[in-house]
A = this chain, B = another copy of it.
Amino acid sequence: MNLYDPKRIPRSIIPENQEFPMLSLSSWVTPENKYYIRNHFPYPALPLNDWALKIEGLVQKPILLNYQALCQFPQIILPVTMECSGNKRAYFQPKARGVQWEQGAVSHALWTGVPLRTLLQVAGIMPNVREVIFEGMDTGERIDLPGTFRFARSLPVEKAMHPDTLIALCMNGKPISYKHGHPARLIVPNWYGMASVKWLYRIVATDQVFKGPFQNIDYVVYRSKKDSQRRPVTLMKVNSVISQPTDQTVLRRGKHFITGTAWSGQGSVKMVEISLDHGGTWNLVTWLDSEEKYSWRRWGWDWNVPVPGTYLIMVKATDDKGNIQPLQAEWNVMGYENNSISQIQVYIE
Interfacial residues, chain A to chain B (CB-CB below 8 A)? 3-4, 6-14, 16, 18, 21, 23-24, 43, 95-100, 143-144, 246-252, 345, 347, 349
Of the candidates B11, B23, B349, the one whose C-beta lies within 8 Å of that of A144 is: B349
CB pair B24–A95 under 8 Å, yes or no, is no
Report the copy number of this chain in the oligomer.
2
Of the candidates B16, B23, B143, the one whose C-beta lies within 8 Å of that of A349 is: B143
Q: How far is the CB of A210 from chain B (nearest CB, A)?
A: 23
Of the candidates B16, B144, B246, the one whose C-beta lies within 8 Å of that of A100 is: B246
CB pair A12–B23 under 8 Å, yes or no, is yes
20 contacts between A and B (CB under 8 A): A3-B43, A4-B16, A6-B10, A6-B18, A7-B7, A7-B8, A7-B10, A9-B9, A11-B23, A13-B23, A95-B247, A95-B345, A97-B248, A98-B250, A100-B246, A100-B248, A143-B250, A143-B252, A143-B349, A144-B349
What residue of chain B has the Cβ atom nearest to residue A247's Cβ?
A: B100
Report chain B residues within 8 Å CB of A18.
6
Cα of A108 to Cα of B110 in the assembled complex, Å: 41
What residue of chain B has the Cβ atom nearest to residue A9's Cβ?
A: B9
Cα of A143 to Cα of B8 in the assembled complex, Å: 29
Query: Contacts A3-B43, A95-B345 given; 16 further ones with Cβ under 8 A?
Result: A4-B14, A4-B16, A6-B10, A6-B13, A7-B7, A9-B9, A10-B23, A12-B23, A12-B249, A13-B24, A97-B250, A97-B347, A100-B246, A100-B247, A143-B349, A144-B349
Report chain B residues within 8 Å CB of A143.
250-252, 349
Report chain B residues within 8 Å CB of A23.
10-13
Report chain B residues within 8 Å CB of A3.
16, 43
Cα of A11 to Cα of B24 in the assembled complex, Å: 10
What residue of chain B has the Cβ atom nearest to residue A347's Cβ?
A: B97
3 tightest Cβ-Cβ pairs between the two chains A and B: A6-B10, A7-B7, A143-B252
Cα of A68 to Cα of B349 in the assembled complex, Å: 44
Q: How far is the CB of A307 from chain B (nearest CB, A)?
A: 15
Report chain B residues within 8 Å CB of A251.
143
Report chain B residues within 8 Å CB of A250.
97-98, 143
What residue of chain B has the Cβ atom nearest to residue A253's Cβ?
A: B143
Q: How far is the CB of A305 from chain B (nearest CB, A)?
A: 13
Report chain B residues within 8 Å CB of A99.
248
Cα of A144 to Cα of B100 in the assembled complex, Å: 35
Q: How far is the CB of A45 from chain B (nearest CB, A)?
A: 12
